A = this chain, B = another copy of it.
Amino acid sequence: MRLVATVSNSEELKLAERADLIELRLDLGEFKEIPRGNFIVTCRRKSEGGLYDGEEEKRIEKMRFFAEKVNAELVDLEFDLPDRYFKEFNCKIIESYHNFKETPNYSFLKDLVESKRGDYFKIATLGKSEEDWRKIVKILLEYENVVAFLMGEKFSYTRIFSAYLGSPFIYCYVGTKKAPGQIELNDAAQILRLLGVRR
């Protein structure tokens, strides 16, 4: 499992030194000087909780430019994008599904994961009940290379526990919170220390 710091600008990059992987959110702010590191390049649309509101072709172009510039390890592409975009990047791909209204039923999630075109499939949905967590757990038990957790203040724990069921990344914030229930990078590291996982 790796701790991912989601960052919105050059200032926040400085707070992310202890992260294993850094997600550059191109939709949230400007990045000027970028230090060496392992990066996920993401430019989230408004419909998925981001701030990007422009043309789709330009968004992909912006991501491609940054992915090359920082020699990105991963790029995040939404599940509803056409196949052609998945062939335009020279790095690994996280195919992502976000739902800020609810957690769909298990068979819907299963179909999503089975139609995966990237290297990883990411599911981030709004949690409303313990039952939603059980759906995510079942997905994680059944499939590899899936990043899955619930959004919502009451479901922060799912961000950590999913990593103990094979989910490879724990998305954390530095500076300002980027999604409901996100845990601060140092708090996440502290939890893992108390559980005996990290020093």
Residues in chain A within 8 A of chain B (CB atoms): 130, 133-134, 137-138, 141, 153-154, 156-158, 160-161, 164-166, 181, 183, 187, 190-191, 194-197
* Contact across chains for A187 and B191 when beta carbons are under 8 A apart: no
A-B contact list, 16 entries, CB within 8 Å: A134-B141, A134-B165, A137-B141, A153-B196, A156-B195, A157-B164, A157-B196, A157-B197, A158-B164, A161-B161, A187-B194, A190-B190, A191-B191, A191-B194, A191-B195, A194-B194
Could you list 15 further interchain pairs (A-B, Cβ under 8 angstroms) beyond the known A137-B137, A153-B196, A158-B164?
A134-B141, A137-B165, A154-B196, A156-B195, A156-B196, A157-B161, A157-B164, A157-B195, A157-B196, A157-B197, A181-B196, A183-B194, A183-B195, A187-B194, A191-B191
Known: A138-B141, A141-B138. A133 touches B194 (CB 8 A): no
Please report the C-alpha to C-alpha distance between residue A166 and residue B129 in the assembled complex, in whole angstroms. Answer: 12
Complex interface: chain B residues within 8 A of A165 (CB): 133-134, 137
A67 to chain B, nearest CB (A): 32
Please report the C-alpha to C-alpha distance between residue A154 and residue B137 in the assembled complex, in whole angstroms. Answer: 20
